[in-house]
Chains A and B, each alone.
Chain A
């Protein structure tokens, strides 16, 4: 429940630089609600399904099978690690894409709730990101059987895997927070974003490793943070950086942090105006 001081300052948007801190403190104050909303997403998404949460693992598994078949037939790929690479690519890319897509429509999806009760609206994108991240943590476990089968021992580089997972979700949330306040005004934005994301699917190396990119284009290819996070997750599991450079990793992480902070400032500044369009 909003405490006294909170209500008094509730109508003034925080300054641009303070906004992210305000957001974190609001999220901390409302962590019980955040937890409940994440739990709601889990229950609602997998309710009434016979296989329940297993679907979050079966879906990427089936997609991997399809892509692998297509590529084996089309190109005669003989890389035994390709299914693993595709699997990781799908998991990381989907987390990013689904977070972005749901965050974009979070204000519109929850419009009746927003008009009924006041609580900090930054909880919506945060709960989506929380749900997607938890879901990713569970579904990434499908790589374990494959690792055992192929006899891949995790090295110390496995600690880079959480970084890649967190960054892909945060990048989606950051972009989604910017898109969500525009979306209430220009409702076509979600369609546009979905199209871009679909194109991004082919540009981010979901179903191929970065090693097939000609070396002279690698720099350009790694400008795409999602491609870097996918490659980073593969490197973390396989214990080998391959063609991935440390510069690209650090640059992508910095881009993600910048977009996240910028997105939260934009969201905090404009959500007050945005709700009037609902």
Chain B
């Protein structure tokens, strides 16, 4: 791994087991006979090698089921690859679906402390940031009420506010850019752009062409668990994506 690299993936292979559950599983187990026609595994990532520099903003696009979210989860450590090696330098935060660990019966304040600790913040860090998180979310009146009384927009604002206070060195984003009403959306977009413009390394999975074009230094187009096209010109990868999704529609 070179000095200036933040993420280094080498020949990552990841298989998802096909769930043979219930009756099928017991039948196969008892008769010791497997249906050879059904694959036991689904190959989600196939020999993916990738190296992302520190401070780079890396975009990923691709049709559904191409392995975009899976590769983010491999980088975040959620899935261990079956083959290949992965090296990561720095604190990683994955934003995939907001509000990790939210409990509807706890108050907003309690949820801040729970969710932030799930993202790996220490106790003192949480104490010092709580007021700022509440301030950014704009939910002042409701903060000591249970989360179930919140509207879904308020929940999303609170969740985004927590996420934006995490200050990771490597930020993995899985399409969570737009939450709340338009004013909050503006505010959160600026916040993300600030993070992206700073020295944070960002990997961004998105279907939004403008986002990819405006923010990313490089864009990769994924298809069937492989990198189909990797380019410094976002437009090239997006074109390729159109071709691929056109093909999918065609057959």
Binding site for B on A (CB under 8 A): 1-4, 7-8, 10-11, 13, 30, 32-33, 35-37, 39-40, 43-44, 47-48, 112-119, 186-187, 272-273, 275-277
Contacts and interface: CB of A to CB of B under 8 A. Distances in A.
User: Chain B, interface size: which category?
Assistant: 35 or more
A36 B119 contact: no
A32 B123 contact: yes
A49 to B, nearest CB: 11
B114 A32 contact: no
A276 B105 contact: no
Contacts of A37: 114
A3 B120 CA distance: 10
Contacts of B89: 4, 7-8
Contact of B117 (A10, A32, A43, A114): A32
B79 A276 contact: yes
Contacts of A116: 94, 96-97, 100
A115 B70 CA distance: 10
Contacts of B19: 277
What DSSP secondary structure best describes chain A's contact surface? helix
Interface in B97-154: 97, 100-101, 103, 105-106, 110, 113-114, 117-123, 126
A2 B105 contact: no
Contacts of A112: 97
Nearest to A48: B105
A272 B80 contact: yes
B77 A118 contact: yes
A11 B13 CA distance: 13
B105 A47 contact: yes
A113 B96 CA distance: 10
Contact of B92 (A7, A11, A30): A7
A2 B77 CA distance: 10
B79 to A, nearest CB: 6
* Residue in B89, B100, B117, B122 whose Cβ sees the most chain A Cβ within 10 Å: B117
A275 B79 CA distance: 7
Given A1-B91, A1-B168, A277-B17, A115 B105 contact: no
B25 A186 contact: yes
Contacts, number: 100
Given A1-B91, A7-B88, A118 B78 contact: yes
A10 B77 contact: yes
Contact of B73 (A4, A113, A115): A115
A116 B95 CA distance: 7
A8 B87 contact: yes
A31 B24 CA distance: 42
B101 to A, nearest CB: 5
A114 B78 CA distance: 7
A55 to B, nearest CB: 15
B81 interface: yes
27 contacts: A1-B92, A1-B120, A1-B166, A7-B90, A8-B89, A10-B80, A10-B88, A13-B80, A32-B121, A32-B122, A32-B123, A33-B118, A36-B117, A36-B118, A40-B101, A40-B103, A113-B118, A115-B73, A116-B94, A116-B100, A117-B76, A117-B118, A118-B78, A118-B92, A187-B21, A275-B78, A276-B16
B216 interface: no
B76 A118 contact: yes
A109 B166 CA distance: 26
Nearest to A116: B100
A236 to B, nearest CB: 35
A40 B106 contact: yes
B86 A11 contact: yes
A119 B16 contact: no
Given A1-B91, A272-B80, A275-B78, A119 B120 contact: yes
B78 A44 contact: no
Contacts of B92: 1-2, 7, 118
Nearest to B16: A276
Interface in B50-105: 73, 76-81, 85-94, 96-97, 100-101, 103, 105
